[in-house]
Every structure is written in C-alpha cells, then in structure tokens.
Structure 1
Amino acid sequence: MATSVKLSSGADMPLVGLGTWKSKAGEVENAVKAAIDCGYRHIDCASCYGNEKEVGAGLNAAKDVDRKDIFITSKLWNTMHAPEDVKPACKKSMEDLGVDYLDLYLIHWPYGFQNTGTGNNFPKNPDGTIIYSDVSFIETWSAMEKLVDEGLCKHIGLSNFNSKQIAEVFEKGRIKPAVLQVECHPYFNQSRLINFCKEKGIVVTAFSPLGSPDRPWAKSDDPIIIEDPLLKTIGDKHNKTPAQVALRFNVQRGVIVIPKSVTPARIAQNKELFDFELSEEDMKAIEGLQRNDTGRVCIPAVEVDGKRVPRDGGHKYYPFNEEY
C-alpha cells in the first residue's frame, strides 16, 4: 500500500506528516524527535507558528536520518508578500529549521498584511483592524518561482487558495503549483476542490484533518470528529480508532494528512494508516458526513456583537467567498 504520492516533478511526498500548528515551542522539539523516531519523514511547518527554531532542534536531533530523506514544508506569512520580502522570509525559515533548502514552500494565504518592519505578524490599525496589503498573489508567486531557480526550494505551492485563484496562478505562473494545502476532514471533505486540483496535477494536503478539536475558538457544543458515531462504528470494524478512520479517509483519496500532536503514542498512532483499507461503502458513508454550513472551522475571525465573523472577509483576495 503506497505511503507517498508523486508530485508533478516526479518527487515523492509522504502521505502522512507531522503538523506543528499550535504546538508549543517547549513541546514541539520532542514531538518532532518522536515522529522521526517512529518513521515520519514529513514535517509541516510555518514561520507564523512561531516554533520553527524548536522544530529545527528536533530535526537536528535526528542524527540517523539524512536530510534528503525528510520532506520539509514551510510557509510564507502574510506580511512578507511583497516580492522583495519573499527570499528573506524563506531564508529565515531555513535558518530557523537548520536546513539549506526546503522541499516545499507555500504561500500561506492569498492575501497579504502590511510589513511594518517590526516583525509583527498581525499589524493593526488604532481601531484593532488588520493593516492589509494589496500586493497581488501573482507578484508574490513570481518571487516564489525565483526561490526554485536559486535552489532554495525544490517545490512551491499554495495554501488556503480557492479554485479561481489557483487557476489564475496556474495560468499566469511560469512554475505550476505542486501542492495546495487546505482544511479538509470528514465534516468538510473538499471533494470539488480536490477533483479540480487532480485535473491540474496538483497534490492536496489536508490540514486539520481531525477538525482541529483544540482550536481556541471551539464551543462546547461543536461536533467533534473523533467522537463521531459513524467513524467509531467503522473503526470498530477495522480495529482502528475514529481518528485513524478519519485520516485513512483522506489518505485513501490520495490526500496528504498532517495531524498535529505532541504526544508520542498519538503521533505513532496517527501514522498507522496503511494496514487497513476502507471499503467503498465506508468511503461513501464518510462522504455523507459533509456539513456544508458548519464544516469549515478554521476561519480567521473576530467577535462582533457576540458572533464570530470572518476577520478578512472584506479583502479582495479573501478566498472563502467562492464555492470552492
């Protein structure tokens, strides 16, 4: 059973990686070491997570694994979209991670924030709103392409882009995006976007593949994927946990998963996806869990009159106003 997928370049990208979003700096070094020790060869990072130095320490501790055997992804943050900021941002991530190239570098979001020169990831106006940049993601992409030319990145791609934005990059870019990373799980299965990407030869990575139950804004009555009765029933049939079923659902569709954990036992468990296969009936049943109205949970938002509303919904490059 395949444990990796082929990128358009012909390179292999492991189907399971360790996610590091929300992993505290004091914990993520050990999580990376534990992941590599139990066979992970794919680590997903981002400068905005604020923990790349600790991830790098974990990578450095893996003395018995060659750099070429570990697939490392990082992401360009919103304040660094201006073409002149792209290379310095990439080199900073490389320095923090302790590597001399990235396997994959993604534009984290299609819209930018103003670079105030202070290192502030979320620059704000006096009223508390974000100070946005109107730099086109096409300009940013052109600067990303130069990173490949210079050997700093083997592949470049996108994160949180919609189908129209991907099509624009595909049409206007010199180098085609290798990967799209988006929220994707049984409650928000992204089937239309995945099919669109397959037609373009773009591999999809699912972030929050378990629905990010530890997200800070979760409400007590929000549905929790890993407690879903259907996933439990299917898991019992295969002697697997609901989490493993949810992850296998994506992997079986050729979608990469990057579950986050800092617990060694859970990290190991999240990788044990290749000794069972979901039936066609199982897959269709899981597809039926799609929740169109509440499925997407990872939306940057602010509180307005007691309700969470999209923080960046007014930006011309905000991606989630399109169907997919």
Structure 2
Amino acid sequence: MKRSLTLNSGAEMPIIGLGTYKEIEPLWPLDEGEEAYSDVDYLETWEGMEEGVSMGLAKSIGVSNFNEEQLERLLENCKIKPAVNQIEVNPNMNQKKLIQFCKERDVMVTGYCPLGRKEYAGSPGFPDPTILDPKVIEIGKKYNKTAAQVILNYLVSLGISVIPKSVNKERIIENFDIFDFELSEEDVAYLDSCNKNQRRHNPGEVKNAVREAIDVGYRYFECAWINENEAEVGKAISEKIHEGAITRDDVFVSTKLWNNFHARSLVSEMLRCTLKTMGLAYVDLFLIHWPMGFKHNCKTLPLKQGKDAYSDVDYLETWKGMEDCVILGLTKSIGLANFNIEQVRRVVKHAKYKPVVNQIEVHPHFNQKALIQSCRDEHIAVVGYCPFGINEKSGVPNFPEPSILDDRIDRIAYKHGKTAAQIVLKYLITCLGVCVVPKAVSQFRIREYYDISDFELDASDIKTLDTCNRNERICLMSAFADHKYYPFDLSEIPSRSIETPSSTTVDLPSSSRLQTPSLRVNVSSRAPTNFTSRMTFGSNTRMEISSASRMDSSSTSRTSAPSTSSVINQRTTRMDTSASSRTRTESTTQSPSSSIM
C-alpha cells in the first residue's frame, strides 16, 4: 500500500496524518448573538490564496468542504488549481462520487472525521459510527486489528489521505499501524454497504424508534423539554394506543423541567404545556433537570449573559411546584437530576413528597459509588446516564477518555466474547445497582445492549472495573459553575477552557431478549412514592433495587400524596429520547457538538 499521494502541485502528501484539536472560543463572527455573514465570493478568497503561493508562503493551496458545483466553478476561474479538497469521509459517508469527481480533475481528497462521530452514537438524527459496528469489530479480530485500523485501511484504499484525530500516544501508534494487512473483497463489500450518504438521519427518527421499541416490548420512555423530543415520543405513544398495541397504563413516561421554569408558578404551567405537546393527560415521572435556575425570559442556555441570566429561585421553591403537579394529577411521581447529596438531603428535609429518583452521570471512569450509596440511604433510586462515558471531546487534551475505549474493558470483553458496551452495562447494573440509559437508535445497538443476560462478571473482572474509576466527570455544565446552586465540586473542573454544555443526546433501550429496568411506582396515602428499579436477567436471576421513599408515620410536617397508583412491571428498558443536535438556545454560542443530560 502506498504511503503518500502526489498532489498536482508536485508535493508528496502522506496518506495518513494526525488531526489535533484545541478548545477555543468560537471563531465565527457574531453580531449581537447572531452569525454575521460575508458576501465575499470564494473566488475572491482564492485569489488571495494564489497570492500566498506567489509570495512563497505556501507550496500548495486547496479547499475544504466544497461540493462539485463549487469546485467546478473554482477550477474554471483559477490560475493555480486547488491541490486538495478536504471533506468528511467515513464508511457511513464514503463520498465515492465526490472523490471520483475530484480525481478526474486532478484534485486530491483528504478525509476528515474518518471514524465517524462517537459522541452522536445512538442519537436520533445521526447514523451510528461504524467504529462501534460489531461486524467491523469482528473484521478487526480476523486481522488482529482494531475497528479503527480496519476503517482507516478501507478509506486509504479509496485513494484518499485520512486525518484521524488523536492526542493519545497509544491511539496515534494504532492509527498509523495500518499498512501490514489488506482487507478481503468480502470485508470491503461490507464496509461499502455501510454507506448511507448521510451526515444525519431524517426527521421523525425519534418517533420511529419509539414505535419500534414499543413493538419490541419497551414500556419506559424518558424525554426532556430541552431536548425537543417530547412531541415525537408522545405521537408515537398515541399512535400505538390508537392501533390497540398498548394502553396508556402500559407505558411509563418521564420528562424533565428545564432551568428557565424554576419559579413555583411556572412548574405546573410548563408541565401542562409538555402534556399538550405530547398529547397525554399525565406523565409518570417528572424530574428537575438541574438544581440551578435561569431567568424565565433569558435564553435556554445563556452562555453569553453570565450571572445576569441566573435566577435566584431556590430549588426548594421549585420542588413545591413539583409537588403541586402531583396534587393536580399532572404527574404520578417526582424526582431530581444532577443534584449532589447535600442538595438531595435538603430537598428530602423540606419535602411534602420525597423525590423517588436522582438521575446522575455514572460510568466506569466515574462510578459515583459514594453518591449512589447516599441516595440509597435516603431511599432514593439512582438512574445513571452517559453509561459509556462517550462525549464529543474524546481525544481532546485535558478531557476524559470515554470509558468504553478503556483497554482494560476491551480485554474483559474479549474474554467473555462480548462488546465493551455490554461489559459496562453489566457492571453498572449488577455491581453498582443502578438503572442505566444506553444510547441507541439502530437495531444493532438495541440488540447489543439487551444481550447481557448470558454471562457473569467474575471477581477479577469486577476488581478491574472498579479500578477504572478516575472520578472524571464528563457533563460538567461548567459554563455555569458560578451559579450558587451549581451542584458539582469546582475542583472537578480541569484546567481547560470553559466547557460548553452539550446539545442533545438520545438514550434508547435494547432488544426483547433481556428484561431490563422494570419500573414500579406506587403512590399511596402512606407512602407518597415507592420506586422499584428491577433488572431481570434471563428467566432465573433477578437483581432488584428497592428504594421506598416512605415518610415516617410519625411525621406531621408532610402530608400524603393523592391516592394514585402507577405500576410498570414488564420487559422494559429505559428509553431516553433526545432530538439530535437541537436546543432552543442560539447555536452560535455553543459548541456544535455538546451534551445536556
């Protein structure tokens, strides 16, 4: 295999390069928060590029992200031909047509994002990256290579140069070690078949995923107002009810209150709007998304407004609004998300109805054992999001490496004939005792995440997984670290530029083979909420976490909830559905690829 390509300028360009990344302030210009566009024709820009060659400042010049029409127009008007067109190329988007177009015009192609975007794995609106495809992983094992090496070898065989991003020494070595094997025709054909010519999936993906999940047997679906997924989830549920596949009592629906609506008077108003959007009379669980509030009239993610956008509303007032929703029959149970233990205890101390859940980030690199135990002591169940620790800053200096890429987990997976994701889920469920929310929209991923009932982790596996903990938090929301109700220890924030909160993620369930979290929520006069999270493995072994948030019968300061009951006890896994890469905030003030959990 050749290791370099000859450009039309005569320069030799290595076939594989190193992409690097530094977190910086957005470079695009803003005018009062709005993007400020220029009318300058790129042909004029190209004349400036040609001047750079004439002055000896550059040996070759090229373009990036140009389509066929733009490139043809440039070629018709240039003095110096572009040597390169750098475009997105990966198995999901192999761009063979554009690559051939460039080759015919003696323009070399450099492919960025060759391994896809792992941070969008499972997100509606985005195809799953082939680096996580079980079939590609199997192909790698055949050659004693990783999935990444298989993909890079495949892309190089298309006649392009690739620039995988990495700052990790082992990954840099791995990405370069691709020249000592050749893929078979069968393997190439499979990788060709991965092409979807999509950077994103089509709208409606959330609805279709929910419909399919209901058919498989899932009955627990989680939404969030900030994720803009409530309408599609509600529509899918309504359609299935209309078709007679389910009744409303069959499904367990959860959603979250966003930070702009923390005032007590706004809480029930917001939930009423959500119910109207979803076409439902009530939800089964309603969570406060974050303890810190923003002013009602500010942006949903006020990154540029600073403290001026912060609300002084105490989350205890917000909790009273949540309790109002129970009394009004808008929700059957209420809970928290991203609260630290002091905040949880403060809510419990003053609550009429105790929170049944605290939803927090949990993965092997951040196992949160202390907080999980503290929540149990308060009879509050824990739901863990981001179980694989995947985020868009994988490989960026000073940012945690996703735990799913940990070599120790890979070795355990190889030992059991499972994927790293399956090992992680098994560990979190059986060893940490949390309800988990893996992301998936593809049938591949759904089945993979469900298929964890036919093996057990041994003592050495568990010990190794325990040692993976680094106390590395991914979802910091550090842009708001100066808020008085910011929940995390400031010492957890690494010495890096302020992290932009992420846009959106999706968490979906897995296949019908494994019974995953059955949620039983009982609301009675004696116990405002009794939350049971149950994971059933196969037909024999059952792990049950029971967090009964019963009030002391002697307590006179708290009244009972209305006598209602919602019981969910069937083959379900939690389905957290989030619209892709969309939030109600201005996109110009946040990183294009970020995650709010």
* TM-score normalised by the chain length of structure 1: 0.82
Runs of 4+ residues deviating >6 angstroms: none
Q: Deviations over 1:229-280 (max 9, x none)?
A: 2222222333321101111111113201111222122123222233333223
Residues 1:288 and 2:504 are matched in the alignment = no
Find the aligned partners of 2:307 and 2:351 in 1 and give their Cα distance: 32
Q: Among 477, 488, 512, which residue is 1:320 paired with?
A: 488
Asked whether the 8 Å contact 1:114–1:123 carries over to 2, the reply is no
User: How many Å apart are 1:124 and its aligned residue?
Assistant: 6.2
Structure with the bigger RCO (C-alpha within 8 Å, sep 6+) is: 1
Q: Deviations along 1:108-159, whole A, 9 cap, x unmatched?
A: 000100001x8x423466x577611010000000110111122211111100
| 1:174 to 1:129, Cα distance in 2 relative to 1, 3 A | closer
How far apart, in 2, do the equivalents of 1:66 and 1:274 lie? 28
Which residue of structure 1 lines up, in the alignment, with residue 256 of structure 2? 75
CA distance in 1, matches of 2:294, 2:232: 25
Structure 1: gaps (5+ residues): 1-19, 301-309
Task: Tell me the residue number matched to 1:87.
Answer: 268
SS in 2 for 1:75: strand
Is the contact between residue 255 and residue 285 of structure 2 (CA under 8 Å) also seen in structure 1?
Answer: yes
Deviation at 1:86, TM superposition (A): 0.2
In 1, the alpha carbon distance for the partners of 2:289 and 2:429 equals 22
**Equivalent of residue 182 in structure 1, options 352, 360, 373:** 360
Alpha-carbon distance in 2 for matches of 1:21, 1:131 = 32
1:249 paired residue number: 427
Q: Provide the C-alpha distance between the structure 2 equivalents of 1:107 and 1:80, rounded to a whole number of angstroms.
A: 10
Structure 2 vs 1, CA of residues 297 and 39 (structure 1 numbering), >3 Å: closer, same or farther? same
Aligned pair partner of 1:121 in 300, 310, 323: 300
Of residues 222-231 and 152-161 in structure 1, the stretch that sits farther from structure 2 once superposed is 222-231
Matched residue SS, 1:181: strand
2:479 counterpart residue number: 311
Give yes or no for contact 1:179–1:205 (8 Å, CA) kept in 2: yes
CA distance in 1, matches of 2:459, 2:251: 32
Contact residue 267 and residue 318 of structure 2 kept, 8 A: yes
User: Structure 1 residues 223 and 151, CA, compared in 2 at 3 Å: closer, same or farther?
Assistant: same
Q: Does residue 234 of the first structure (1) align with residue 412 of the second (2)? A: yes
Look at both structures and tell me which one has the larger radius of gyration over its CA atoms: 2
Q: Which residue of 2 aligns with 1:102?
A: 283
Question: Cα RMSD between the aligned structures?
Answer: 2.4
Q: % of aligned pairs identical? A: 39
- Matching residue within 256, 274, 279 for 2:458: 279
* Aligned-partner Cα distance in 2 for 1:231–1:224: 11
What secondary structure is seen at the aligned counterpart in 1 of 2:284? strand
Contact 1:31–1:262 under 8 Å retained in 2: yes
Larger deviation, residues 79-88 vs 67-76: 67-76
Per-residue Cα deviation, 1:22-79 (whole angstroms, up to 9, x for no partner): 5345321122223223232221210000121112222234341222222211000000
Query: Contact 1:47/1:76 (CA < 8 Å) preserved in 2?
Result: yes
Are positions 1:65 and 2:246 aligned together? yes
Go from structure 1 to structure 2 and tell me whether the alpha carbon gap of 1:135 and 1:189 turns closer, same or farther (over 3 Å shift): same
2:342 aligned partner: 164
| Structure 2 counterpart of 1:134 | 312
The TM-score with structure 2 as length reference comes to: 0.46
Tell me how far 1:88 sits from its aligned partner.
1.4
Q: Partners of 1:124 and 1:322 in 2: how far apart?
A: 18
Within 2, Cα distance between the matches of 1:270 and 1:87? 35
> 1-side partners of 2:454 and 2:251: how far apart?
22
* Gaps in structure 2 of 5+ consecutive residues: 1-120, 126-202, 493-597
Q: Distance in 2 between matches of 1:206 and 1:130?
A: 32
2:354 partner SS: coil
